[in-house]
Amino acid sequence: MSEKIVIIGGVAAGPKVAARARRLSPQAEITIVERGRLISYAGCGIPFYLSGQIKDYNELFTTPYGVKRDEQFFLTERDIRVLTGTEATAVDRRKKEVTVVDLNTGKESVLPYDKLVLATGSVPVEPPFAGINLKGVHRLNHPEDVRKIMEEIEQVGDVVVIGAGMIGMEAVDALARRNIFVTVVELQEQILPGMLDADLAAVLKARLEERGVEFRLGEKVRRLEGDEAGRVKQVVTDGGALDADLVIIAVGVRPNVELAKAAGLAIGETGAISVNEYLQTSDPDIYALGDCVENLHLVSRRKVYIPLASTAARQGRVAGDNVVGGKSKFPGVLGTVIVKLMNQNAGRTGLGEEQARAAGFAVSVTTIGSFDRTHYYPEKGRILLKLITEAGTGRILGAQALGEGDVVKRIDVLACAITSGANVEDLANLDLGYAPPFNTPIDPLQHGVNTVRNKMQGIAKGINAAELQAKLAGGDDFVLLDVRTQPQYRAQHIEDERTLLIPIGELRERIGEIPRDREIVVLCAIGSRSYEAQRILEGAGLKNIRFLEGGLLGWPYELD
């Protein structure tokens, strides 16, 4: 008798399990149960349809070779039965049966299983304030959400996005590409709080503000107000009222675990379903994966809830192996994520700075600025790279990067390094590819790890932007030595009476102008010249010198 595999959830993770299981077991009876009408859609492509970069809505549902992924596709190409518009309402673990209801007819039936897979995903968090049911108030979690927004997009002027996480910020990018003015309201004091540390988030915020986005951070939404027709007109926060013709709510998601709870399956400390390395729940015949499960973080070794499509896809192969008798393992996650916002690329992998400290590591932080390709190549872009390492060992714990240049390949290489337990010595010796259209002779991440090595040896002595800003605001007695050229200084600089401008090419001959009895902070555009200046000054016998890591590229504060 062929094995019966029932999969609850037909968006991303479930179809991946089904496809893998079918390839390994041609005789298995595989059924996918999906509450909605749409299956196997490209949820990550929704913002790009909103922006107009994807022209055809149907592309969100097609294979790379142009065939729509619907019930007929799965039946004819995969021999997989898909029941859409069908809700799984109960799991009887003793009988190994799933009760399902046809949402059109209300008819109830039972599906027997040998192996059951829960791919129930996540659901949007419902905010507690009034007015969320007004016309013009939307989410951006489902293809139908974007269709509703697109019906109104030509008539709106002011848009408010509530939530500055990944979904919210991708909505901002999409709307900005349509030249729509957007204000972002975020309860926390930074954008992308689950992705970037506060320092890089501040830099990204400043760059997006330059392109017309307005942010209201650290503000709590009190209510949404509508007009006589029941359409939203204002977002009221504890900081005031904002006009809004359209509102997108993107305040996060939570794991959909109701069915698992009702079946008596173990729920983990994060509130998501607990699974082992084989993706088995507390019932060995029931597997779970994707946005409804928690995972082990490979660095902290703690349980985390980081819902990502890439994780769901990788887990789909593992669960697909195991429901047909395999023993594949899913070891855990680093939370590697990347995003493009207007002209800025951003990414992270591993632990953030405070996460690493909370996990008990002795942390060292290094930030560098660089070009992603040779400075003379016309398509070069700047990037800011932050490395979180273990003090003493140089082990890579995490990394973040942003800029108009290529940050993705640096993040991906660092994800490999963290997974393999590499330290800065290992990374410095990687044989990476170079040609002017792709890289600099020494990759920016290797500049970064070399800076870490220099700091470990006591050669490089850095200060970050927040520390320097505190010194400036606090009236500290120090010298702010700017070693850029006169034209660069005139174009943009920190206006402060403690500033001394000496271009690095003149530094040796003018070294007598620098006080020897005061602290010196050196700055330049990206940090390389200021580090050179630090070494020159120390070679001349001066003490207490630090350089601004990342230079003005990583400066999120006002410049003159």
Q: Which residues are within 8 A (CB) of 259 and not within 5 positions of it... i.e. 6 or more apart?
A: 8, 88, 89, 90, 91, 118, 120
C-alpha distance from residue 27 to each of 4, 79, 115, 441 (Å): 10, 9, 14, 54
Instruction: Provide the 10 A C-beta neighbour count for residue 25.
Output: 18
- Cβ 424 vs Cβ 389: under 8 Å: yes
Contacts 24+ apart (CB under 8 A), 204-208: 204/341, 204/344, 204/346, 204/402, 205/556, 206/556, 206/557, 207/342, 207/343, 207/344, 208/172, 208/341, 208/342, 208/344
Which residues 6+ apart lie within 8 Å of 477 measured at CB? 498, 518, 519
Rounded Cα distance, 531 and 513, in Å = 19
What are the φ and ψ backbone dihedral angles of 481, each rounded to 5 degrees? -95, 110
- Among this protein's residues, is 44 annotated catalytic? yes
3-state secondary structure 262-325: HCCCCECCCCCECCCCCCECCCCCEEECHHHECEEECCCCCEECCCCHHHHHHHHHHHHHHCCC
As a whole number of angstroms, the distance between CA 516 and CA 556 comes to 30
Give the catalytic positions in this structure. 44
